[in-house]
Structure 1
C-alpha cells in the first residue's frame, strides 16, 4: 500500500473528517483497497482495526485511521479514507535495527501516511487534501515533527502544492550518519516539516533533500555536505 489516489480539486466540497468507527470498517478497507496493487491490502491492515489505540495519535493500535464524509449528503458511507502509522524505517533501517531506543524515538517523531483513497466519483473535490490536512494537524498536536508518504511520480505536483518536498531518495540527518530512504521505482518519497526546528534542504553532493532537526541535537552546520555518498557535518 504505497499509492495515494489523486485528488486535484476542481471545486471544494464540504467534508467532515473523523476517526474511523466500527460500522465503517468494511467501507474503509474497500476504499484503501484502491491504493493497493491488485486491490489486495496487507492482512495486517485489517488486524490493526481490532486493536485498542496505543499512543496519543493512534486511533487503532499504533495507526491513525481517518474517514471523510461529505456534509449533508444522503449517503452515510465514507467517501475517503486515510491510514497512517509509524514509518517502517524506524524499525527496519540498518541504523535502527539494533537500537530499540532510537526506533522508539523515531516512531514518535515521524508519521508515515501509508494510504489515502477517495471514491472515484468523488475525486477532484478536495477530499484527499482535507484528509491529509487533518492527519498533519493531529500529528503536529501530538508532538510529531515530520510527515512523510510514498506516491507515484504523476502526483508530484499535487503534494508540492500541499507543502511536501518529493524525491527518489530522502536522507534523515543523524548525529553521526545519514539515514537514506530510497524507494523502489517508480515510487517517490514526500516529506513535510511539522515543527519549526525541522529543516528540509539540498546539500552539496546529496542525492536528494536532507531532513535535519528531526530530533533535538540533529541539526546540521551551514557547511554540511555529501562526499562519496557519506554525510560530512
Structure 2
C-alpha cells in the first residue's frame, strides 16, 4: 500500500469509477489529484489517496484504490452550520472514505482490507479518532468483520445535542473508532447506533437514552 504516484492518476480514477458513490469529492477527484497535500494525513489536496500494486511489482498499474477526505457532514449538517467552528475540529478527528475499489480480477485477495488497514493506521498516527464510509447492504458483513458498525442511521453525540446521519436507500454508514475512548453504543429507543466521545467532552452518561427522537442525557 502506498500513496498514489503521478504516473498512475488515470489508473486511479478508472478504479474509483468502479465504486457506486456519486459524491461531490469523488466527482472532483481529477482536480484534487493535481494539488499539493493540505494536512498531515492528506497526500493530494484535502484527500488521502492510496493505491495497491500487484505483488512483486512497483511498475504495473495499481489494482486497488482508496480515496478519503473530510466528511461532507462536517460542513453540511444543519447542527454544524449553526456552529461553524465545529467543522475544522471534526475535520481533524473524523475521516470519510469516499471511494474504495479493487479491480475485478484481483478481488477476494485481501486488497480492500489492506487499504483500509493502512488508512486506519495513518489516521490514528496523526490524531484521528474515527473512520466512516458509505456502503451498500451486501457489503455490511465485510465491514462488520473488520470491526465497523453498520446501519442506515448513525447518531454522533455532541454537547447538548445529537447529529443524525441517515443515508438514502440503498446506502448504509459504517463507523469504526480508532481509539478506545470513542465508543459506539446502542441506547434505548435510539434510531440506530450512537457514537460517543468523538471529541473530549462529547461522552454520554450511562443513563443516556432517546425519547421522541431526542437524545436525553
- TM tier, smaller: over 0.9
Structure 1 length-normalised TM: 0.89
Task: Pick closer, same or farther for the CA change 1:69–1:89 going to 2, 3 Å.
Answer: same
Counterpart Cα distance in 2 of 1:121 and 1:206? 41
* Counterpart residue number, 1:86: 70
* Counterpart residue number, 1:115: 99
8 Å Cα contact 2:157/2:194 also seen in 1: yes
SS of the residue 1:95 aligns to: helix
- Aligned pairs for 1:96-115 (under 5 A) are 96-115=80-99
1:34 is matched with which residue: 18, 29, 33? 18
Task: Pick closer, same or farther for the CA change 1:19–1:74 going to 2, 3 Å.
Answer: closer
After TM superposition, give the deviation of residue 50 of structure 1 in Å.
Answer: 1.2
Does 2:120 align with 1:136?
Answer: yes
Structure 2 length-normalised TM: 0.96
After TM superposition, give the deviation of residue 197 of structure 1 in Å.
Answer: 0.9
8 Å Cα contact 2:26/2:98 also seen in 1: no
Counterpart Cα distance in 2 of 1:170 and 1:79? 31
2:109 is matched with which residue: 104, 122, 125? 125
Q: How many residues align?
A: 216
Q: Deviations over 1:30-56 (max 9, x none)?
A: 000000469xx9541111111111111
* Counterpart residue number, 1:152: 136
2:154 is matched with which residue: 162, 170, 195? 170
Does 2:32 align with 1:44?
Answer: no
Uncovered stretches (5+) of structure 2, i.e. residues with no partner = none
8 Å Cα contact 2:182/2:196 also seen in 1: yes
Counterpart Cα distance in 2 of 1:111 and 1:42? 14
Counterpart Cα distance in 1 of 2:42 and 2:28? 16
8 Å Cα contact 2:21/2:98 also seen in 1: no
1:70 is matched with which residue: 37, 54, 58? 54
* Counterpart residue number, 2:199: 215
SS of the residue 2:39 aligns to: coil
Counterpart Cα distance in 2 of 1:74 and 1:135? 20
* Counterpart residue number, 2:210: 226
SS of the residue 1:163 aligns to: coil
SS of the residue 1:184 aligns to: coil
Q: Deviations over 1:56-111 (max 9, x none)?
A: 11001110000001221496110000000010000000011132310100011100
SS of the residue 2:28 aligns to: helix
- Which structure has more relative contact order (CA 8 Å, sep 6+)? It is 1
Uncovered stretches (5+) of structure 1, i.e. residues with no partner = 1-16
Q: Tell me how large the CA RMSD over aligned residues is.
A: 1.6
Counterpart Cα distance in 2 of 1:205 and 1:36? 32
